[in-house]
Every structure is written in C-alpha cells, then in structure tokens.
Structure 1
Amino acid sequence: MKTFCNCIVEHKIRAPHGGTGRLIGGTMAAVGQFPFIPSVSRNDQHLCAGFIYNEKWVVTSAKCIYGKPKEEFKVLVGALSFVTPDPGEQSIGVFDMVYFPQYDDVTQKHDVALIEVSKPILFGPTTQPMPYGEIDELAQPWDAKIVGWGATFEDGLPSTRLRWGPIDNLAADCSSYDTEEYIESLMICAGSSSGVSPCEYDEGTPLTHVTNFEGIQKEVIIGIMSKNQGCSNATIPTIYTRLPAYSSWLVQTAGPQASPNVLAPQL
C-alpha cells in the first residue's frame, strides 16, 4: 500500500516551480464551483485538502496533521489558484488540531481530523461550508466527484489550480487491500472508469455525491480521501474515510455543522 501525506512542496508565494500537476484526469474548477474546499498548508507549502465544517473548523485527514506542530499550519479558503491571489480568499492560522483518538498511523484506520482556525472563516460566494451524508445506494448511476490540488502523475508536484474529476463507482472492489486496510463500515472504496484518481497532496480531499438529503436532491460530502496504492494506475480504487461513521465525534468536538449560504460570522 502506498500513501501520500508526508510530501511537502511549494505553495502560494513560492508556487511549485510553475508545475502544472493536478488531480489525475481532472478538470479545472470554476469560480465558486467548490466553495467548501480549503488548502491545508505546512510552512506555507500545500500539504492536503479538506472541507469547511463551520466557521471555526475544517475537516481533513488525520495523517495530514499527525505528529506535526500546529504552529506550522495554515488554512487557505476561497482560493482557486496558488499563483494569483483570488478575490475573497482568506489565509488563516491554526488554533488547534485534533485527530480521531483511535487513529492508526500504520493502517490509516479512523483517518479523520479537525483543524480549528484562529479566527472565524468569513462566508461568501467563494467560501461556504458543506454538509456531509451517506451514500444513496439507489441513486445510480452515481453522480460523484473528487476535488483537490493533487499531482497529475505519481511523485509529481501539486496543481497550481483547483481541479475536479468524476467518480462513477462508489462500491468498487477493494480486495487488493487487506482486512485491516479496508473496513467497509468505516471506509468507502471508490473508483472511476474515466481514468480519474487522487494522487499526492489529495489526502483529505472530499468525495461528493448527489443524493437525497433531507428530502431534496443535493450534493453532499460522503468521504475524504485517505489512501490508495499509488496513482500511476487509475483502475485501482481509492479508499475514503466514511464520514457518517464519525458524526458523534465531529459534533462533540466541533459542534453542529454550518448550513451553506449562511451569513458571515460576526467578528
């Protein structure tokens, strides 16, 4: 098994050498298309992604922050590009980082964490929270996608611009992983027939799915990228942390989720 969270490359002011790396098979995101995606950086270098939970907390993967000092981290929201500043983008320091207490850094079991930012995130057209939910097994063909700044080839650099790609199999065959690496009740095994795959710097990137949520069809986050066996072969599925399995911990730690289209918090 190969996982990818210990790579660090240039970010924002020091962009990655003009690289054009991206999520494998991805398409450039449009302004406001994915307002819930933050870049989590360490020492001003993009490390992984996540999603905005509420005005104070961001969800990401545990391996992104495990064993690292919070003082080295920042969260960038409202951004599409690491080269050109975007209107409304916010770079915010980190107040606290918490990973799930039973996280296993060998098998990546319970690969979920929360980052508390040092000041409230201001919501607007390009910065919004995103609800999470369970897979709708009846909603087939599945309308799902991943979003991130991942590399375009194995051992590549991160993208300088946010990209997304379609995922059409939310029940892929994960028999290539052993029983400790893939636990169905805690994880999602997902793949794509169109050659899309998460790659380096995509840990924590959300897997979204159009589902029946509270009685209406809407896009929700069902998982965050945890691990795969490399991205050179996009036919091998990726394992995502199944977020509803951690609902109690998320609420206990970070409080309730914010709803999309909320007003900016008062400072």
Structure 2
Amino acid sequence: MTKQAWLVGFAVTGVLACGTPVAAPEAESISAATQTIRGGDDAHVGEFPYHVRILGRGVTKCGGALVQPGWVVTSAHCLQGFTASELTVVMGEVRIDVTEPTQQARSVMRWIPHPDYGVVDDAPLHDVAVIQVAQPFIVTTAVSPVAFPSGPPNIGTSLTVTGWGTSGTGGGTTTQLKYASMPVSPPTNCAWVILRNPVEGAELCMVLVNQRIGACQGDEGVPLVLNGKLHGVMSWDGTGGCQQFTIFTNVANYVTWIRSYTG
C-alpha cells in the first residue's frame, strides 16, 4: 500500500499522524536473474499453488497465502472495513478474467487481525491477519498450503513474490498472475522513503530490482516465499511510486500467533 494511499485514507478518517522523512541516500544498485508483478513474468497453473486472491464485495482487494486447507495469512490492513460475509477467497487460478477448471472459491467464516496491529506514523505495523474459510480447500496440484519459516531471510537473499498488482503508480492491474524476485535489504535502507524506520524483526525491507521489478500497488497481502516457506506478506509501498522499496510483514515474527489459530 502506498504512503500516499495511507495519507488519503487517514486524512478522511481524521486520524492522520505526523512524520518527518529523512534525507534520501543514493539508491543501491541491485540486479537479479529473474526479470519479472511490476515487470513480472507470467505464472502458470500449479506454479504457486499457495497464492490466494481475496475479494471484498466482489472486487479483488488483496492477496494472501494458504497455510492450512482452511486458513489463509494476509495483511490486516487490506481487510479493514469488511465483514467476514463480504469476503471471498479464490485459489487455483492464474487468470482472473476467466473461470479456470482448477479454480476453487470459498466464503469466509471469520478473519482475525494481530492484536497489536495498528498505524504508526502513517504506516501499518504488525500488519498480519488470518482468515478462516467456511469450508477447507481441497488440496490439489493447483491448490496447496505453504510452510512456515524457522527464521527470517538473510540480508541479500532473493525471494519470490506473486500478485496481480499494478505496473506502477497510475497503472492498471493485470488479469494474469505475475511473479518477481526481490532481494532483502537492511531496514535502514528503507528509512528514507517512509515516514518511520521499519521495525526490525517485524518488517522486511524488500528491493524493487532495477527500480522497476517487484511488488507494487494492488499487491497488498501477497506472499513472499523462499524454498517453500512463507517469509512475508506485503504491507505497503514506502516509495509511493513502486520505484525503490516495498515493506513486507516478517512472517517469522508471527508464526506462534498464527499457529495459535491455524494449528
């Protein structure tokens, strides 16, 4: 979610917080073998069977990851304003403009945000939630859970993100699921593009490769995965333009809480 979007949203609700950006350092130069969400490669059915699309009142709102047949992990902020009965979870698809034979859809029984979820200096924190679907998904080659990590990813490691987000600020969303490789950067490198420093341990600072490849607007809640382990869900785009960094919730920090519901 962009910084601008948070400012607009909280100005409307009258709870806009204050923050002072720090001076911007020179952008770091990073390359990756996978040229892919903004600038992404097309995904194929079964390639990312854990990826979830979440609809609110019939409109795609965000992404998520299946962690048990009956449970999904996503960002808390993208569910705000919706009751469980207004949400639908869809899996087993890579195109959202057609109904694919592998597709499964479920209504939602309940969703629970992390108890410490909130907004600090115009940015969400502890931005994670679990969704319990009304009927567990049937596990197939196109629909299956992702595992939890035992710890956070190392700085410099590249992870895979998937989503249907925009190609950039003002760009349209895609009907084709995309994937991209994004490296982990030290939290201090994200500090200049947002109104507060990322909270180490709670958040991951992820780099858009060549300032154009990675998670963007419309990708909120989407999974960040390495070796079959869910390391992050997208929280917000600190640059406001999908050009430098994206902040993900560090799932490893919340595994105990998540498992208290999902088992």
TM-score range (shorter-chain normalised) is 0.7 to 0.9
User: Equivalents in 1 of 2:127, 2:69: separation in Å?
Assistant: 22
Cα RMSD for the two superposed structures:
2.3
User: Equivalents in 2 of 1:198, 1:37: separation in Å?
Assistant: 14
May I ask how many residue pairs the two structures share in their alignment? Answer: 229
> 2:133 aligns to what?
117
Residue 69 of structure 1 deviates from its aligned partner by: 1.6
Confirm or deny: 8 A CA contact 2:65 2:146 kept in the other structure: yes
User: Equivalents in 2 of 1:114, 1:75: separation in Å?
Assistant: 12
Q: Which has the higher helix share?
A: 2
The one-letter amino acid of 1:73's match is L
Residue 179 of structure 1 deviates from its aligned partner by: 7.5
Is 2:169 the counterpart of 1:154? yes
Worse-matched range after superposition: 40-49 or 129-138: 129-138
Confirm or deny: 8 A CA contact 2:161 2:222 kept in the other structure: yes
Is 2:39 the counterpart of 1:30? no
The one-letter amino acid of 1:118's match is A
Is 2:214 the counterpart of 1:205? no
Is 2:209 the counterpart of 1:168? no
Q: Deviations over 1:233-254 (max 9, x none)?
A: 52x2111000111112111122
> 1:243 aligns to what?
251
Q: Deviations over 1:193-220 (max 9, x none)?
A: 33213222201111122xxxxxxxx332
Confirm or deny: 8 A CA contact 2:107 2:133 kept in the other structure: yes
Q: How does 1:50-199 map to 2 (within 5 A)?
A: 50-105=64-119, 106-133=122-149, 134-137=151-154, 142-171=157-186, 173-177=189-193, 180=196, 182-194=198-210, 195-199=212-216
Q: Deviations over 1:141-182 (max 9, x none)?
A: x23121001011213332111100111344361121568551
The one-letter amino acid of 1:247's match is V
Is 2:260 the counterpart of 1:252? yes
User: Equivalents in 2 of 1:207, 1:75: separation in Å?
Assistant: 18
Confirm or deny: 8 A CA contact 1:49 1:202 kept in the other structure: yes
Residue 83 of structure 1 deviates from its aligned partner by: 1.2
The one-letter amino acid of 1:164's match is Y
Worse-matched range after superposition: 152-161 or 114-123: 152-161
Confirm or deny: 8 A CA contact 1:100 1:111 kept in the other structure: yes
Consecutive unaligned residues of structure 2, counting only runs of 5 or more, are 10-35
> 1:13 aligns to what?
none
Consecutive unaligned residues of structure 1, counting only runs of 5 or more, are 8-21, 210-217, 256-267
User: Equivalents in 2 of 1:42, 1:230: separation in Å?
Assistant: 26
SS at match of 2:190: coil
**TM-score for both structures, normalised by structure 1:** 0.79
SS at match of 1:34: coil
**TM-score for both structures, normalised by structure 2:** 0.80
The one-letter amino acid of 2:256's match is S
Percent identity for Structure 1 against Structure 2? 25
Residue 187 of structure 1 deviates from its aligned partner by: 0.6
SS at match of 1:174: helix
Residue 23 of structure 1 deviates from its aligned partner by: 2.1
The one-letter amino acid of 1:175's match is A
Residue 67 of structure 1 deviates from its aligned partner by: 2.9
SS at match of 1:252: helix
Worse-matched range after superposition: 149-158 or 55-64: 149-158
| CA pair 82-244 structure 1, distance change in 2 beyond 3 A | same
Worse-matched range after superposition: 40-49 or 172-181: 172-181
